[in-house]
Amino acid sequence: MTVDTGESNGHISRHIYGHFAEHLGRGIYDGFWKKDANGDYIIRDDVVAAMKEIGVPNLRWPGGCFADYYFWEHGIGPKEERPTVVNNLWGGVTEDNSVGTHEFLALCEELEAEPIVVGNVGSGTVEDMANWWQYINHPGESPMANLRRENGREEPWDVHYWGVGNESWGCGGHMRPEYYADLYRRFSTFLHGYKNVRPFRIATGPAEADYNWTEVVMERAGDRIDGLDLHVYTIDGSWSTHKGQAVNFDESGWYRLMKRAMWMDELITNHTAIMDAHDPEKRVWLIVGEWGTWHEQEEGSVPGFLYQQNTLRDALTASVTLDIFHQHLDRVKMANIAQTINVLQAMILTDGERMLRTPTYHVFDLYKPHREATALPFELDRGQYEFAGNTLPAISATVSKNDEGRIHVSLTNIDPHQARSVELSFDGMKGMSVKSARILTADEMNARNTFDAPDALVPVEFDGAKVSNGKLVVSLPAKSLVTIAID
């Protein structure tokens, strides 16, 4: 591997490491919030503390599919007066609207995260969305700002990031791209800039390889779009039949999931090419607003709650995906893994008062040094991981340099059996030393953390990185991720 320390492959925005909290399963209730002794929902301090350790640059809410069923007026005012609704999408449970606008934005303040609010296009009106925007952001005298003050918030929250609908091609209305593009133009017209806030307008982007959606929406509405929201999930199997188990899988399941994760590179490349034709200045961000692994939910969990365990396999698909994002920094400026707590590829799982950090959480911890750093270009012989006559690149990587000049290297070996020796040369760098190194790995492909053993799989110090003859030589174990700091 040869790294050019004097060049830049782009700026790694912290927003690529964003998160997602939908009213789905136990993501909100029994996730970020729990009931106190009086039966009222309060923010979980342990969850907030854990998430602040890895940093939460942004948090997307209230969905997801739930966004296009959500009426914000139901979630303001005295909680005992808020109406209840049935969450027909996710488990058919009754939503009592205990967590609404004020509660979510208070959570963002505690997390020191930028909120991303997704407005209701599927079942709402232009007036609904415009009023919500005004309620949140208007600094002066206005009907909605005064209503906000009546509900206890004097100052606006200054929310910039605003989604105009979610998955409008699917659960958000099953729209054609032509129809959505016109609706987007209409709805976005009424998101007015206020004193401290200009709306950053996020349009529904494509599902996976729906290149026609990107073409039509960019052609018809690209001049009014700030971010286009691509959704891609990593599955082992089929959407229509079976998506595979989170824990009980063999090497064929390992291989298929890694192959699916690497598909992200092709998708971003192709969608970027379409966006470039309509936006050669690259003004519009490509936002991967929902990504992560999606398995069959755990046996015995509530149907529709999408609760799944999280193993070393999930962790390495996350590191591979983040590496892909870092190779497309001219377009990819924001992303949101789905979802933060108790849903899909979660950072955290809870069980009553107990909480654990998943292997994916530890990937985000190992990648913290890359945030807001400069990505360095490199050439890499990735080797080959072979399985059943098929091959994938074995090694994935990110190299970055921070403002202090320290270089961080993250290397992922997806091969579950074979260790690799990687020799790194750093052009333009005289002398080096390993400041620190940590590794995430395990003996078993499905290693995971449980409530009885919450620290079974955590990063530990790594002694397999040595400087020899002016080069960094890394002995990279099978199925592992390492991050190395170099001075």
Quick one: three-class SS letters along 203-265?
Answer: EEEEECCCHHHHHHHHHHHHHHCCEEEEEEEECCCCCCCCCCCCCCCCHHHHHHHHHHHHHHH
User: Residue ranges per domain, the chain?
Assistant: 13-372, 378-486
pLDDT in the model for residue 461: 98
Average pLDDT for 316-339: 98
Is the pLDDT at 370 greater than 90, yes or no?
yes
Average pLDDT for 55-77: 97
Average pLDDT for 451-472: 96
What's 13-372's CATH class? alpha beta
Is the pLDDT at 196 greater than 90, yes or no?
no
DSSP H or E stretch at residue 6: none
pLDDT band at 238 (very low <50, low <70, confident <90, very high): confident
For 200-216, how does the pLDDT look when each residue is reduced to its tens digit (9 = 90+)? 999 999 999 999 999 99
% of the chain exceeding 90 in pLDDT: 97
Q: Is 359 exposed, middle or buried (0-12, 13-18, 19+ CB in 10 A)?
A: buried
Are 322 and 398 contacting, i.e. CB atoms less than 8 angstroms apart? yes
* Terminal C-alpha separation, the chain: 18
pLDDT in the model for residue 240: 78
What b/e readout covers 50-68, taking b as 16+ CB neighbours within 10 angstroms?
bbeebbbbbbbbbbbbbbb
Question: Is the preceding omega at residue 64 within 30 degrees of 0, hence cis?
Answer: yes
- Catalogue the active-site residues: 167, 290
CA 109 to chain centre: 19
Q: Which amino acid, 42? A: I
Is the pLDDT at 329 greater than 90, yes or no?
yes
Q: Which of these CATH numbers, 2.60.40.1180, 3.40.50.720, 3.40.630.10, 1.10.760.10, describes 378-486? A: 2.60.40.1180
**Could you tell me the pTM of the whole model?**
0.97
Is the pLDDT at 237 greater than 90, yes or no?
no
- What CA–CA distance (Å, rounded) separates 184 from 198? 17
